[in-house]
């Protein structure tokens, strides 16, 4: 059996924290796979707020989520989620990098990603989960990965529990392979 992809691990973690009627944020909707997954978990009585800066991503996700009234798409940078999301949430998901089958020069960048991560932790309910899939392998990806690692390292262990899924530091593939960082808000 092949190793699970980090996006699958992200889904496993999210599943434990989201139930029908819940509220989640997809900070990078892209092709809409994660938005659909979140919408399925919260059901018609819940809510998913999705953000992306590319009209193409919003259009693809809108098409995929037709018939999901719980999905609210925002053609905006995720750094504005604090202003647009009306209440605390159980889950915030980020899938960084570029839009697959899209313009690979449009990537998430540290300045807005870090602002969005600050907004995301502020939105989390107690017991809520932040998951971030990080891609260090593309141009600009390694710089963003370093900044995101540092941001997670600054979270206080008294309030957040942080885990990392990916190759160990000593593995050369660490520099190329996607990995996942997650933080649960404990208090």
Ligand X SMILES: C[S@@+](CC[C@H](N)C(=O)[O-])C[C@H]1O[C@@H](n2cnc3c(N)ncnc32)[C@H](O)[C@@H]1O
Does 49 help bind ligand X (rule: CB under 6 A)? Answer: no
Q: Could you tell me if 88 and 128 are in contact, meaning their C-beta atoms sit under 8 angstroms apart?
A: yes
Alpha-carbon span 30 to 149, nearest angstrom: 22
Which residues ranging from 63 to 102 are in contact with ligand X (CB under 6 A)?
A: 77-79, 95, 97, 99
Binding mask 10-29 for ligand X (x = CB under 6 A): ------------------xx
Q: How far is CA 144 from CA 63, 82, 112, 172, in A?
A: 30, 21, 10, 18
Select the residue interacting with ligand X from 6, 13, 34, 92 (CB under 6 A). 34
Alpha-carbon span 187 to 177, nearest angstrom: 32
Least separation, in Å, of the C-beta of 80 and ligand X?
8
Name which of 72, 113, 121 is nearest 95 in CA terms.
Answer: 113
Q: Which residue is nearest to ligand X (CB)?
A: 30
Least separation, in Å, of the C-beta of 165 and ligand X?
17
Does 57 help bind ligand X (rule: CB under 6 A)? Answer: yes
Does 162 help bind ligand X (rule: CB under 6 A)? Answer: no
- Across the beta sheet with 47-51, the strand order is 71-74, 47-51, 23-26, 89-95, 124-134, 179-185, 160-165
Question: Which residue, 34 or 49, is less far from ligand X as judged by CB?
Answer: 34
Q: Could you tell me if 42 and 20 are in contact, meaning their C-beta atoms sit under 8 angstroms apart?
A: yes
User: Cα(first)–Cα(last) distance of the chain, in Å?
Assistant: 38
Least separation, in Å, of the C-beta of 47 and ligand X?
17
Q: Could you tell me if 148 and 113 are in contact, meaning their C-beta atoms sit under 8 angstroms apart?
A: yes
Least separation, in Å, of the C-beta of 164 and ligand X?
19
Does 30 help bind ligand X (rule: CB under 6 A)? Answer: yes
Total residues contacting ligand X by CB under 6 A comes to 21
Does 54 help bind ligand X (rule: CB under 6 A)? Answer: yes
Q: Which residues bind ligand X (CB under 6 A)?
A: 28-34, 51-54, 57, 77-79, 95, 97, 99, 106, 108, 112
């Amino acid at each position: 059996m092949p190793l699970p992809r980090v996006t699958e691990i992200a889904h496993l973690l999210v599943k434990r924290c989201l139930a029908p009627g819940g509220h989640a944020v997809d900070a990078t909707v892209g092709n809409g796979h994660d938005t659909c997954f979140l919408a399925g978990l919260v059901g018609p009585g819940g809510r998913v707020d999705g953000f992306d800066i590319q009209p193409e991503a919003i259009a693809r996700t809108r098409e995929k989520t037709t018939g999901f009234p719980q999905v609210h798409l925002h053609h905006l940078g995720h750094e504005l989620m604090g202003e647009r999301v009306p209440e605390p949430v159980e889950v915030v998901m980020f899938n960084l990098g570029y839009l697959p089958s899209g313009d690979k020069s449009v990537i998430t960048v540290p300045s807005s990603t870090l602002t969005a991560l600050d907004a995301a932790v502020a939105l989390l309910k107690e017991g809520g989960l932040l998951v971030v899939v990080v891609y260090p392998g593309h141009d600009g990806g390694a710089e963003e990965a370093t900044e995101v690692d540092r941001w997670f390292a600054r979270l206080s262990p008294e309030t957040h529990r942080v885990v990392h899924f990916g190759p160990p530091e000593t593995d050369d593939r660490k520099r190329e392979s996607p990995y996942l960082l997650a933080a649960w808000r404990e208090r």
